[in-house]
Amino acid sequence: MNRPRASRAFYTVNGSLSHSPPDSDCETETRPLSRFPDSSSNDSVFEISCNLDDMTPEAVGAAFEVLFDNGALDVYATPVVMKKNRPAVMLSCICTQEKRDDLAQLMLKHTSTLGVRITACHRKILTRTVETVSTDYGDISVKSAQGYGIEKLKPEYDDVLQAAKRHGVPFTTVYNAAALAAAEKAK
């Protein structure tokens, strides 16, 4: 069976992004989500990342705070193994183009890294809304997301936790009650 060896939405050709693959004998395939009639939205974001093998967990956590406080859409750490088998983390943040240069500079300033990688990413986004549903445990906010033929519902963690504590019941009891109320409301 002839299978693609790579699947990409963008290619880097001579240092710039391109929708067309570079001249090579690598087979490629792109499967856009646009085949769904109710597509939600598309945008571009940037991922800034660096590898850290000489920072304490507290210092990495402090860098998280700085990045979030300055407009990062998301910040996360991934365990990696670097040269000489040293355990480390790859610190990454997702941001808009407007925040890219400022956040890259902050990552350089607030970590021990000597350089950062910046990658342009194209993403598909579900349309999100927040509604409140009534349950036996009180009102609970529920996040809803739709698009590309997909629908998702998720009760808000903080509301569920507070209601569970107030009523002395397990978290999952309140979570399930809110999910059921949201599903019934969506019908």
pLDDT of residue 68: 97
Give pLDDT tens digits for 65-116.
Answer: 999 999 999 999 999 999 999 999 999 999 999 999 999 999 999 999 999 9
The larger pLDDT score, comparing residue 148 to residue 14, is at: 148
Q: Tell me, yes or no, whether 37 and 111 share the same domain.
A: yes
pLDDT of residue 40: 66
Residue recorded with tokens 């400022």: 102
Instruction: Determine which of 1-15, 38-52, 88-102 has the lowest per-residue pLDDT on average.
Output: 1-15
70: CATH: 3.30.70.1380
pLDDT of residue 25: 38
Cβ neighbour number for residue 156 with a 10 Å cutoff:
16
* In contact, 78 and 92? CB cutoff 8 Å: yes
Q: Tell me, yes or no, whether 142 and 174 share the same domain.
A: yes
Element of type H or E holding 134: strand 127-135
Q: Tell me, yes or no, whether 52 and 75 share the same domain.
A: yes
Cα 157 from Cα 145, distance rounded (Å): 16
Residue 126 has pLDDT above 50, yes or no: yes
- Say how many domains are in the chain: 2
Amino acid at 172: T
From the centroid of its chain, how far is CA 2?
A: 32
Give pLDDT tens digits for 157-179.
Answer: 999 999 999 999 999 999 999 99
Cα 53 from Cα 63, distance rounded (Å): 14
Structural domain contains residue 27: no
pLDDT band at 27 (very low <50, low <70, confident <90, very high): very low
- Angle CA(41)–CA(45)–CA(48) in degrees, nearest 5? 155
Q: Tell me, yes or no, whether 112 and 133 share the same domain.
A: no
Give the start-end residues of each E strand in 10-107: 11-13, 16-18, 41-52, 74-82, 86-95
What's the whole-model pTM score?
A: 0.68
Residue 89, domain extent:
32-125
Structural domain contains residue 11: no
Residue 150 main-chain phi, psi, to 5 deg: -120, 140
pLDDT of residue 43: 86
Residue recorded with tokens 């808009």: 96
Q: What is the DSSP letter of 21?
A: P
Cβ within 8 Å of residue 144, ≥6 positions away = 128, 129, 130, 131, 151, 152, 153, 182, 186
Instruction: Determine which of 15-19, 59-63, 118-122 has the lowest per-residue pLDDT on average.
Output: 15-19
| Mean pLDDT, all residues of the chain | 83
Structural domain contains residue 145: yes
pLDDT of residue 71: 96
